Structure 1
Amino acid sequence: MSISTKSLPLPTSAPAAVRTSLQPRSIRVFEQDLPVPGPGEVLVRTEYCGLCGSDLHIWNGDDGYDWVPCGTVLGHEIVGTVVRVNGSSAIAPGTRVVAVAQSGCGDCPACASEYANGCAHRLTLGLSQDGGAAGFVRIPFAQLIPVPEHIPALTAVLTEPLSVAARAVASRGLVTHADAVVVSGPGTIGILAALVCKHLGARVVLKGPERDVAARSGLAAQLGLELVAELPPGYRPNVWIEAAGAAAALDDAVRELSVLGRLVVVALYGSPPVVAANDAVRKELNVITSYSSHRADYQLALRILQERPDLGDLLVDVVPLRNIALAFEKVGRGIAPKVAVAP
């Protein structure tokens, strides 16, 4: 198969953020040869790549991430432009795309059910294969989704985290306009989950500790979100999206949810939380978990971003890729809901 290229020449090398060891702060930016797309792959010029909690764990050298191989280029929250195509593809050079982070083997029962999360041989960009914190990244056709024309790249870089929120709210939580929702944790996923609830027509309250309310009240107002430290008097949710990763938030959810309510847990916890299980049983609460996202969740995320093309300006702090240490410092301090690097 021939490789189709754009008319403009490409450089022979580009910067890439590479894991060099299992020690803390062992991510370095090097010049690397451009990746060569194999059959069924395209070469994407990265415009922005978001950094998330998994990337921060790798930067910190935390336990549980030693399976990410040294030599891996980080980054799975990718938006960029196709510049080379190896083979036949409906996605032509010059198309702006986002990448679905995970892919399965295609042959197992989980993949037959279009559930790549359950594939024992799944691959994840930026973790088990090279990602997009680089000038260029090669990605299979099947993992690409074209970005609608009027969504700027700075907003499109939110697609992957928004897809995680969309899965928690819409696919797993089944939220509709008839629901009263609380989202606990005004971090990236919490804010985006609240926006998904609004898109679906539900009433939603975003809840966090007083320090977070003070820090994010202005942003919440710009987003049209109600951010509180205590629930409004008389507000009785039937759905609770737990995005804080705090045991206290789970306690709040079990206490405040109405009978037969739905508790959707999308957060991960530093240590196993203790839940008031007897109270949850007596209320017959539906406890649901949500992890990662799938292609349909990305598509919903892009529909939401079409309604809010300004979200990138409100939520994303851009750092040059070569200043990767500064980028991770900002991620660790929660400077912005989303930190992205630009090659």
Structure 2
Amino acid sequence: MARSQYAGGGRQASYAGHGTIEMTEAPAAAPGPGQVQIRVAYCGICGTDLHILHGAMDHRVRTPQPIGHEMSGTVEAVGAGVESIAVGAPVTVMPLDWCGDCPACTSGTQHICQNLDFVGIETTGAMQQLWTVPESIVVPLPEGTPLTHAALVEPLAVAAHDVRRSRLTPGETALVIGGGPIGQLIALVAARTGAHVIVAEPNAERRAFAARQGAIVVDPLNEDLAQIVQERTGGAGADVVFEVAGLAATALDATNHARTRGRLVMVAIHPKPVPIDLHRVFWRELELLGARVYEREDFDRAVDLVASGSLPCDEIISDVVPLDRTADAFERLADARALKVLVDVQN
């Protein structure tokens, strides 16, 4: 399927540039060969979408364009040759379109393709009633999975990839610096891996959520994070530190909390270079790991976790708003008034 040719239709919430979301409408064409048309049920909003709204990604996003990539829905129609998905099936989408030819792809790391198109950024996204995508990126959902919960699969796959990259094992201690949506999901996946979890987060409501899930919580603005980590680990430090806050100060501080030969996973996107304490990396033989998006096995694990009913999905979802209130949902997330807001695309 040609890039930037992800067809849409029906009512759409489109990024129009200059910090604005506008409602548009477009006719829907039948899916072509190898394509699947999805009736989108719910679409979540993430930090990347906020960056798009604020104009930080205008070099990648056409305007006006429906955005969004955290979604769930049901198959409306299929094109010729589509055999893996049937009309009416519940699905989500793994929104990565790789080239297949670059060194990253040919080495088996297609998810970090050197020419990667992220669907919903470089191409039309899911904030529209009908969305046509290649069969190859459609992920079936187990029957009975609530579609509200299924809209969490994509961000949960990010967390699953981060934890898998960290090589976290049962009994280890994981420190999550930053308790926003992805940080909370990392904490949940880490706990289900059998780890002891500490979450450092200044927002009281987000700390309360993490505490309800069994994590040790720390207010880094008013408590001594280093002391608490030392107390909880017998003076050793955390086995794995996830830097999710995305601040220069937290990136610099992260190495201070890892044990000898501990692992530091850089999850947050730092758009500009920030200082890292490389002497500490040397002195304690730390590993510094990057973690970007996900692979199919991470997506499959996320589907299994959501379908199992073992995650507090209803608590993670702060609100569900109709499509014409998409701009309001962005505002709520921008000032940290919500953990995850879903857009009900059909209403």
Q: TM-score normalised to the size of structure 2? A: 0.88
Deviates more, 1:122-131 or 1:110-119: 110-119
The structure-2 alpha-carbon separation of the partners of 1:200 and 1:161, relative to structure 1 and needing over 3 Å to count, comes to same
CA distance in 2, matches of 1:234, 1:311: 25
SS across alignment from 2:307: helix
Q: CA deviation at 1:307?
A: 3.3
Q: Is 1:30 the equivalent of 2:31?
A: no
Q: Is 1:252 the equivalent of 2:253?
A: yes
Q: Is 1:190 the equivalent of 2:183?
A: yes
CA distance in 1, matches of 2:108, 2:123: 20
Identity of aligned residues (%): 34
Deviates more, 1:173-182 or 1:156-165: 173-182
Q: What residue number does 1:66 align with?
A: 59
CA distance in 1, matches of 2:30, 2:176: 43
CA distance in 2, matches of 1:113, 1:38: 30
Match of 1:132 among 126, 146, 163: 126
Residues 59-115 of structure 1: per-residue CA shift (max 9 Å, x gap): 1223x4322112322111111100101123221111111100112123334333442
Counterpart amino acid of 1:286? Answer: E
Q: What residue number does 1:51 align with?
A: 45
Q: What residue number does 1:160 align with?
A: 154
**Contact 1:179-1:238 within 8 A present in 2 as well:** yes
CA distance in 2, matches of 1:60, 1:81: 31
**Contact 2:305-2:311 within 8 A present in 1 as well:** no
Match of 1:226 among 202, 216, 223: 216
SS across alignment from 1:258: strand
Deviates more, 1:191-200 or 1:116-125: 116-125
CA distance in 1, matches of 2:120, 2:278: 37
Match of 1:174 among 149, 167, 176: 167
Q: CA deviation at 1:309?
A: 5.5
Q: Is 1:151 the equivalent of 2:145?
A: yes
SS across alignment from 2:333: helix
Q: What residue number does 2:70 align with?
A: 77
Query: Which structure 2 residues correspond to residues 273-312 of structure 1 after superposition, within 5 A?
Result: 273-308=274-309, 311-312=312-313
The structure-2 alpha-carbon separation of the partners of 1:227 and 1:310, relative to structure 1 and needing over 3 Å to count, comes to same
Q: What residue number does 1:342 align with?
A: 344
Residues 158-199 of structure 1: per-residue CA shift (max 9 Å, x gap): 1111111111111x1111114211111000110000111111
Counterpart amino acid of 1:324? Answer: T
Residues 106-139 of structure 1: per-residue CA shift (max 9 Å, x gap): 3334333442333243222211111111111111
SS across alignment from 1:205: strand
Deviates more, 1:314-323 or 1:187-196: 314-323
Match of 1:17 among 13, 20, 29: 13
The structure-2 alpha-carbon separation of the partners of 1:330 and 1:97, relative to structure 1 and needing over 3 Å to count, comes to same
CA distance in 2, matches of 1:44, 1:182: 38
Aligned residues: 325
Q: What residue number does 1:111 align with?
A: 105
Q: TM-score normalised to the size of structure 1? A: 0.89
**Contact 1:51-1:77 within 8 A present in 2 as well:** yes
CA distance in 1, matches of 2:75, 2:212: 33
Moved over 4 A (4+): none
CA distance in 2, matches of 1:13, 1:99: 17
Q: CA deviation at 1:320?
A: 1.1
Consecutive unaligned residues of structure 2, counting only runs of 5 or more, are 1-7, 220-224
Q: CA deviation at 1:35?
A: 4.2
Q: What residue number does 2:4 align with?
A: none
SS across alignment from 1:66: coil
**Contact 1:262-1:285 within 8 A present in 2 as well:** yes
The structure-2 alpha-carbon separation of the partners of 1:341 and 1:206, relative to structure 1 and needing over 3 Å to count, comes to same
Deviates more, 1:310-319 or 1:238-247: 310-319
The structure-2 alpha-carbon separation of the partners of 1:94 and 1:242, relative to structure 1 and needing over 3 Å to count, comes to same
Q: Is 1:332 the equivalent of 2:322?
A: no
Counterpart amino acid of 1:252? Answer: D
Q: Is 1:215 the equivalent of 2:205?
A: yes
**Contact 2:333-2:341 within 8 A present in 1 as well:** yes
Residues 283-334 of structure 1: per-residue CA shift (max 9 Å, x gap): 1100001111121111111122233356331111212111121011012112
**Contact 2:187-2:199 within 8 A present in 1 as well:** yes
CA distance in 2, matches of 1:224, 1:255: 24
